[in-house]
Amino acid sequence: MGDSALLVETGDAAAAQELRRVLRELTLPGLRQLVPGATSLLIVVNPLLTDLDDLARRLPELRRTPAEALPPRQHEFGVRYDGADLDPAARMLGMDTAELVRRHTAPAYTVAFLGFAPGFPYLTGLDPLLRLPRRADPRLQVPAGSVALAGEFCGIYPMATPGGWHVLGRCEARLFDPGRSPPALLAPGDRVRFKARS
C-alpha cells in the first residue's frame, strides 16, 4: 500500500495476529505500525530504512515461522440491555427482545482486531441470525460503553463517538485509558462474554 507500507492478505484475523507476533520479534529498522485487520496485516515502515520489496520476498518464510501463542484472556462484561436500537433491531430480525438478548449473550466472542476508535474491539462469533446491515443514518453520538452490532461483528464503543452500529445496551467496562499500560483493555485474540444485568 503506497511506498511506505505492505498490506499482507492473511485470509483471517488469527493469521494476521500470528504474523504480527513473528514480525515484532524481527525488530525491523524504521518500523512504525503493525496493524491487523479482518483478513490482513498492514506493515508500515520508513521505506528509506526498510526495503519493503525485500520484506515481501521474505514473507512466505516468515508466515511459516511458528509464533509464540499466548493463552487467550477471558473477559465477562455485564450489559444493561436498554439500547436505543434494541427494539427496532429485534423487529428487523423478526424476534422479540428477550430472544435477541438470549442469542447475544450465548456465545464466547473473540476479539478479531481493534480499530475505528482507540480500544474499539471487532468481536467475531456473533450468532448469524443477528446479522444486520449498518444503520443507513449513523447516530451523531453513541454513548461510551455501548454494545452494538453490524454485519458479522459485535463491538463496544470505548468513548462517546458518532456511530452507525445498532446499539443493544451498555456496559461499564473502561475499554481504553491512555494512562494504563497497555492502554486498551482488550487485545486481539481475547475472549469476551456478555451477561445481561438489570
Measure the CA–CA gap between 96 and 77, rounded to whole angstroms.
22
Among 26, 48, 49, 70, which residue sits at the site for other proteins (rule: CB under 8 A)? 48
- The full DSSP string for 104-154 is HHSS-EEEEEE-SSTT-EEEE---GGG--PPPSS-EEEE-TTEEEEETTEE
Among 54, 137, 178, 198, which residue sits at the site for other proteins (rule: CB under 8 A)? 178
**Rounded to the nearest whole angstrom, what is the least distance from the CB of residue 108 to other proteins in the complex?**
22
Is residue 95 part of the contact set for other proteins (CB under 8 A)?
no
Is residue 42 part of the contact set for other proteins (CB under 8 A)?
yes
Is residue 47 part of the contact set for other proteins (CB under 8 A)?
yes
Cell of 147: 454494545
To 5 degrees, how large is the angle CA 102–CA 105–CA 108?
140
Among 35, 55, 62, 108, which residue sits at the site for other proteins (rule: CB under 8 A)? 35
Residue 24 burial (CB count, 10 A) = 13
Is residue 169 part of the contact set for other proteins (CB under 8 A)?
no
Residues 133-152 that bind other proteins (CB under 8 A): 151
For other proteins, which is the closer residue by CB, 157 or 194? Answer: 157
For other proteins, which is the closer residue by CB, 11 or 66? Answer: 11
For other proteins, which is the closer residue by CB, 88 or 151? Answer: 151
Is residue 119 part of the contact set for other proteins (CB under 8 A)?
yes
For other proteins, which is the closer residue by CB, 107 or 119? Answer: 119
Distances (CA, A) of 15 to 42, 55, 67, 97, 118: 12, 18, 10, 35, 22
